Structure 1
């Protein structure tokens, strides 16, 4: 079997599962895709997959969206996306993988700190702005801001359904904003989109599994699974950098 087909099937499987369940696992996708498609071209292959799962997710989670949280979070995320596009145009693959790995470890450390200290500052507007900005940068640079968004949203004391719905809409809006920038950078084209289609079978299977898996997770397990998956992804990124 062709290596690129296997890689894209696995990438689709993880992407679908991550979008509809714990998140964070999406960080494993970029290194996996780069096995068959080394370099920034992997970003262009991944974006259509994320937009497809975004559409599926917002259609599935239409209710209980914390729009007030998004209103604080998204404005600087858009600025972060623009800054990230400039950053992406001037770094190589090794540099952005290392950058992402360091950032994920820092966010996990922050999450652990918040378990033992008051978390009220995470709900202040300035924190939302900072998280939005850096989330936008990381989303643009490597399509992998899941842990950053998750850590912020988890500290908003949202119930599980509201958390997933709000997260899904945040990614959907940000990924749509990224489309023209990816095209201008030459990372997204008709050819790369056709390649993305090979991931659709894995994407459908992963989404189905993730959607049903989410119903069986309690809040404490939910938080720790996000952290464990994020840590594994960070080490994976270091290995590929």
Structure 2
């Protein structure tokens, strides 16, 4: 598979790996663009597991940078729903084709964005509501299992909870580190995580590391309002891409 990837494909994969690093330490939701690039260069199902390992590498650096800023009450509130969403995602991934996966996730993301903006317009803080945590958690678990696209869903939840930038990034870092590691056995069981995927990732890991350091510099300087707008825009772009 390494030799079958054209030079242009490798350039795109390196760019996607850089985006993974930046998304983990500065701009949650940006990794949706990496999902799109990987799916365009590699076979769709193989791309899911290949990207998963790079996301875990990015998670390590996000934890290094923001582990002390996490809101553990929020994480514990989300946990049961996320596990349920992961299991539903495993079943869905075993039977659905690539087109169905993309369309379902695209619709979910747009609905989540619309709901979050509506909530924020009313000045409401949604995090304490158990029903909302169940909805976001189950959708986040489902979308991250089937296409590594849980970032935008959970970004909308943390955004609606009005977390400051560092608390947002710290809570997201722990959330995705735990969830992505939990996905590895399922990826192996479904036959998606192969030796070829690991070899590709070994080539791309340096790009993830560079992106993570760049993202860390961005996070130290970004304005809260600008940060929130970028998260929303990246989520919408990712959703539209998946639908088209």
Q: TM-score, with normalisation over the residues of structure 1?
A: 0.94
Is contact 2:25–2:61 with CA below 8 Å preserved after alignment?
Answer: no
1:184 pairs with 2:189? yes
Shift in Å, 1:204: 1.9
Q: Could you tell me which residue of structure 2 aligns to residue 75 of structure 1?
A: 80
Which consecutive aligned stretches of 4+ in structure 1 deviate over 4 angstroms post-superposition? none
Q: Could you tell me which residue of structure 2 aligns to residue 222 of structure 1?
A: 227
Q: Over residues 21-60 of structure 1, what are the superposed CA-to-partner deviations in whole Å (9 max), with x where a residue is unaligned?
A: 1211111112211222122111011010011111111122
Shift in Å, 1:67: 0.6
Q: Over residues 152-185 of structure 1, what are the superposed CA-to-partner deviations in whole Å (9 max), with x where a residue is unaligned?
A: 1122233221111011000000011111001000
Task: Number of aligned residue pairs: give it.
Answer: 239
Give the alignment of 1:86-165 within 5 angstroms. Answer: 86-165=91-170
In structure 2, C-alpha distance between the alignment counterparts of 1:175 and 1:116, rounded to whole Å: 32
Which of 18, 22, 32 is equivalent to 1:17?
22
List gaps (5 residues or longer) in structure 2: 1-5
Q: Could you tell me which residue of structure 2 aligns to residue 234 of structure 1?
A: 239
Q: TM-score, with normalisation over the residues of structure 2?
A: 0.93
Is contact 2:126–2:161 with CA below 8 Å preserved after alignment?
Answer: no
Question: Using CA pairs below 8 Å that are at least 6 residues apart, which structure has the higher relative contact order?
Answer: 1
List gaps (5 residues or longer) in structure 1: none
